[in-house]
Amino acid sequence: MKSFRQILIAATLTLGAFTAVLYTSCKNKCGGTTCQNSGTCSDNVCICPEGYSGNACQTGWSTACIGTYNCTRENCTPAVTGVKTWQSAITADATNGGYTIDISNFNNSNTTVIATIDSAETPSSAVQQITVSTAAGTYGVNATGTYNVINGVGIINLSYTTLLSGGTTYDCNMVMTKQ
């Protein structure tokens, strides 16, 4: 009888220890939030890595920019003739987490450029800085600008320099309005 009681006590203690370990390992250490995208928890608040924001690090900085845009080229030096309006698409770039985007048909050139979102601010409440630093092929682009939400519409304003394959450099401004 003593052995049965010892086995029962040992089994109860083992089950209790297992339950405690399981409970503490499954319990979210960040309150009711699970930190995403490699975010870490400190004092029940998710600390987000560069490129992500939100209470659970769930939003990539580039997320608000993704979509189709109507584009208008303005104020080029030297003057550019031809089409001054076109459409471009912005998609998330897979190389740098939540803070890079691909802009297709940049400057109506059938070229895709990579841009970096430099600010962790929420687009609905603040302006995000955008830097275009590289381009595919020989179509060189350097650009800086902003993404902002105005009356519920995302707008990108870019000032850019392009170096065409013939060696001609153009300095232009572009406004991209999200559809």
pTM: 0.68
User: So what's the pLDDT on residue 130?
Assistant: 76
- For the ranges 25-39, 57-71, 89-103, which has the lowest average pLDDT? 25-39
Q: Both 86 and 121 in a single domain?
A: yes
DSSP E strand stretches across 14-150: 40-42, 45-47, 52-53, 59-60, 67-77, 85-92, 100-103, 113-117, 128-135, 140-150
Mean pLDDT computed over 33-48: 91
72 pLDDT band, cuts 50/70/90, is very high
Could you list the residue range(s) of the whole structural domain that residue 69 is in?
Answer: 61-178
Q: Both 104 and 66 in a single domain?
A: yes
The total domain count for the chain is 2
Per the DSSP assignment, residues forming a β-bridge with 131 are 116, 144
65, two tokens:
């920019």
Q: Both 7 and 24 in a single domain?
A: yes
